[in-house]
A and B are shown apart, each in its own frame.
Chain A
Amino acid sequence: MALLSGAKILIESLLKEGVEIIFGYPGGKVIPLYDELYDAPITHVLVRHEQAAAHAADGYSRSTGKVGVCIATSGPGATNLVTGIANAYMDSVPVVAFTGQAPTHLIGTDSFQEIDIRGITLPITKHNYMVTNIKDLARVVKEAFYIARTGRPGPVLIDLPVDVIKTNFDYHYPEKVHLPGYQPTYEGNYMQIKAAAEVINNSFRPVIFAGGGVIISNASDELKTLSKTGKIPVANSLMGLGSFPLTDEYSLGMVGMHGTKYANYAISESDLIIAIGVRFDDRVTGRVDKFASKAKIIHIDIDPAEINKNIKVDIPIVGDAKTILNKLIPLIKTVERTEWLETIKEWKRDYPLSYEHRNSNIKPQYIIEKLNEVLSENSIVVTDVGQHQMWAAQYLKFLKPRSFISSGGLGTMGFGLPASIGAQFGNPDRPVICISGDGGFQMNLQELATISNNNLPIKMIIFNNSTLGMVRQWQELFFNERYSHTLIKNPDFIKIAEAYGIKALKVTDKNDVDKAIKEALNYNGPMLLDFVIPQDENVFPMVPEGASLEEMLDYRKVLKETEI
């Protein structure tokens, strides 16, 4: 009988799960675990703030499809993970988080750095555990990874009282999980699939609305086949970007608050929405009762609770997107939808995404266009949250599944930089570009140390408008230009980068954008580009909160007269 310490059992269990990398930060209650990590065949990346450990595990997972793992100590370490866990939860990302905990005999006594992290994370994890008995440890790890990656993925937290990881026990990794209350549906009801095919074949103005579920399920080839076979245009949610080639003639780009006009018009005029792996977030639907009001709705999703949650669905199909599409596609007839496709072509021609140059100012959209010229589908673009995120979502052209990493559901400023660390570790040979605002970049700026220490060749691009741009935009449009606490004075980002030993370049003239981007991409190491952009540039089109998708504001209408 091999007696191993709890910490050792944990490492062995992680190896069984195929874990190659952990993002973490040590502390008193996890020292026994860190002692085992010292010579374990698993890479541990030391971040500089636990929030970054969770976001890095998240970015690693989104970009690779594997489960991301992070560790924090008890108390403040654990609470620092919370935003990152919530972020993974909102976007259905499989992350397993380990937290240290006070010894079992002190739990409940407010002992030093004791916090009820299981209680705190109840509503933001798919499931969570506190292991109070060493005999449960291996089983719990097995279950946690299983729960995190199956069904609708999500984060799972395991809280580890320090005495438990110090106790010796007979290590035995279970072969199977036994979870009578957890049986995700994958197959999809065939009657429903047939009913859906029938409705699709008889529709005149169908639109596929593809979300993050398509990417999670690796169903992007099937999505293409469905679109091509049925001659059906495809719109994406933010989370779905990358699931369908944006350069394809059938692509409508993104739907919703900052979606393209043609996507929003197509949804509004459609007679059939085929929604796949989406959850009809309010940022997508606008005013719910006006969303796709002329359309029947087919909703394919693995989570039964998403069906009829926000939008009344006509044909629900619960199951895995890939499995269901593979059953659906053979039933789809090729229908000539000349009129509908023609209408869409006209919308695309008449209402393209557009912006105007003003002297030698660098327009943010222009930076993305220039990026398009040098990025390939091999690149991974990670964004932070705000205007720059929306410009990236609107203008980026070459995205593959798992190559556009962005915080959707939680909209977490500070996500970008640490998530790009995870993405780069998961994809050492691919270029990783991190686009941030000047506000969000400062929310996890300490991670420059992690990037620098590991010489990660991440290209960091700051859209520096000296404002919390997205909020400023709302204040301009809806709050009488009262810029309450949104105009910010920034540090010298170049000096900051240099202090961390990172090469950096400030760019203020439009004519230098191209050169700077090329220089960064050709540079073999991390590099920061600080692009100074106009403060008053807004993201358009825009559906004001609570309005219907057809009621889009257009930049032409809101341009001030002096500027025309």
Chain B
Amino acid sequence: MMKHILSVTVSNQPAVLARISGLFSRRNFNILSLNVGETEKPEFSRMTIVVEGDDHTLEQVKKQLYKLIDVIKVTELNQANMVERDMALIKVNCNKNMRTQLIQVVNVFRGKIVDLSPETVTVEVTGDESKINALIELLKDFGIKEVVRTGIVALDRELPSTTKVKN
């Protein structure tokens, strides 16, 4: 099934998050991740919602979102023409002897060590989803204790129209 990334501008009204998440569950739409934060304007928030579904489902998701009074704008991001970031914090089992080895792996992914304990290391990594998945895969060899991810945040790329990347 296709994955779609929607950027949704909403009014910062009470219960707006409940309205959106309620809509997805009620209409049987599948959310893979949802992220919300303030925008350049204090009265609006922007959500990045990753949904799974065929074209028919996507059309319905967009239209149903638009029906909500607090939804200002819904854009589907073109996955070939957007900047996408996901961030993860990964707490890995790692004693002193293993640290160098771990740091080497993390460096390849331009990750950062953000916390250390005698038995664990916490890694921060930012990038697109596949990069983070790849790092998590490698860190499994050390033994992962905990992972937390932000889910995707994304924005359209600004390109001169002539050089716009095609789908």
- Measuring CB to CB, which residues of chain A are less than 8 angstroms from any residue of chain B? 118-119, 122-123, 126-127, 130, 132, 147, 179-182, 303-305, 307-309
Chain B, residue nearest A179 (CB)? B69
Is B56 in contact with chain A by the CB < 8 A criterion?
Answer: yes
Contacts of A303 in B (CB 8 A): 67
Task: Report the separation of the CA atoms of residues A305 and B26 in the bound assembly, to the nearest whole angstrom.
Answer: 15
Is the Cβ of A181 less than 8 Å from the Cβ of B64?
A: no
- Residue among B10, B63, B69 making CB contact with A305, cutoff 8 Å: B63
Is the Cβ of B66 less than 8 Å from the Cβ of A122?
A: no
Is B70 in contact with chain A by the CB < 8 A criterion?
Answer: yes
Is B71 in contact with chain A by the CB < 8 A criterion?
Answer: yes
Closest-CB distance, A181 to chain B (whole angstroms): 5
Task: Report the separation of the CA atoms of residues A126 and B70 in the bound assembly, to the nearest whole angstrom.
Answer: 11
* Interface pairs (22), CB distance under 8 Å: A119-B15, A119-B18, A122-B15, A122-B19, A123-B26, A126-B69, A127-B69, A130-B15, A132-B14, A179-B69, A180-B11, A181-B69, A181-B71, A181-B72, A182-B69, A303-B67, A304-B66, A305-B60, A305-B64, A307-B63, A308-B60, A309-B60
- Residue among A119, A127, A180 making CB contact with B72, cutoff 8 Å: A180
A179-B69, A181-B70, A305-B66 are known contacts. Are A123 and B60 too (CB-CB below 8 A)? no
Contacts of B59 in A (CB 8 A): 308
Main secondary structure of the interface of B (DSSP, over half): helix
Is the Cβ of B56 less than 8 Å from the Cβ of A181?
A: no
Contacts of B26 in A (CB 8 A): 123
Task: Report the separation of the CA atoms of residues A520 and B11 in the bound assembly, to the nearest whole angstrom.
Answer: 55
Interface string of B54-96 (1 = CB under 8 A from A): 0010011001101111111000000000000000000000000
Contacts of B19 in A (CB 8 A): 122
Interface residues of B in 11-45 (CB under 8 A from A): 11, 14-15, 18-19, 22-23, 26
Task: Report the separation of the CA atoms of residues A130 and B64 in the bound assembly, to the nearest whole angstrom.
Answer: 22
Chain B, residue nearest A126 (CB)? B69
Contacts of A132 in B (CB 8 A): 14
Chain A, residue nearest B10 (CB)? A181
Contacts of A308 in B (CB 8 A): 56, 59-60
Contacts of A309 in B (CB 8 A): 60
Task: Report the separation of the CA atoms of residues A132 and B14 in the bound assembly, to the nearest whole angstrom.
Answer: 10
Task: Report the separation of the CA atoms of residues A304 and B56 in the bound assembly, to the nearest whole angstrom.
Answer: 13
The 3 closest A-B pairs by CB, nearest first: A305-B63, A127-B69, A181-B72
A308-B59, A309-B60 are known contacts. Are A147 and B15 too (CB-CB below 8 A)? no
Contacts of B23 in A (CB 8 A): 123
Closest-CB distance, A355 to chain B (whole angstroms): 41
Task: Report the separation of the CA atoms of residues A69 and B67 in the bound assembly, to the nearest whole angstrom.
Answer: 23
Is the Cβ of B69 less than 8 Å from the Cβ of A123?
A: no
Chain A, residue nearest B19 (CB)? A122
Chain A, residue nearest B26 (CB)? A123
Contacts of B15 in A (CB 8 A): 118-119, 122, 130
Closest-CB distance, A293 to chain B (whole angstroms): 18
Contacts of A180 in B (CB 8 A): 11, 72
Is the Cβ of B60 less than 8 Å from the Cβ of A181?
A: no
Task: Report the separation of the CA atoms of residues A2 and B77 in the bound assembly, to the nearest whole angstrom.
Answer: 51
Interface residues of B in 93-152 (CB under 8 A from A): none
- Residue among A122, A179, A305 making CB contact with B67, cutoff 8 Å: A305
Contacts of A182 in B (CB 8 A): 69
Interface centre among A126, A180, A307, A308 (most CB of B within 10 A): A180
A123-B26, A309-B60 are known contacts. Are A181 and B11 too (CB-CB below 8 A)? yes
Is the Cβ of A130 less than 8 Å from the Cβ of B14?
A: yes
A181-B11, A181-B70, A181-B71 are known contacts. Are A123 and B22 too (CB-CB below 8 A)? yes
Task: Report the separation of the CA atoms of residues A303 and B60 in the bound assembly, to the nearest whole angstrom.
Answer: 12
Task: Report the separation of the CA atoms of residues A561 and B66 in the bound assembly, to the nearest whole angstrom.
Answer: 56
Task: Report the separation of the CA atoms of residues A132 and B15 in the bound assembly, to the nearest whole angstrom.
Answer: 13
Task: Report the separation of the CA atoms of residues A307 and B59 in the bound assembly, to the nearest whole angstrom.
Answer: 10
Task: Report the separation of the CA atoms of residues A303 and B68 in the bound assembly, to the nearest whole angstrom.
Answer: 12
Contacts of A147 in B (CB 8 A): 69
Chain A, residue nearest B64 (CB)? A305
Chain B, residue nearest A304 (CB)? B63
Contacts of A123 in B (CB 8 A): 22-23, 26
Closest-CB distance, A332 to chain B (whole angstroms): 29
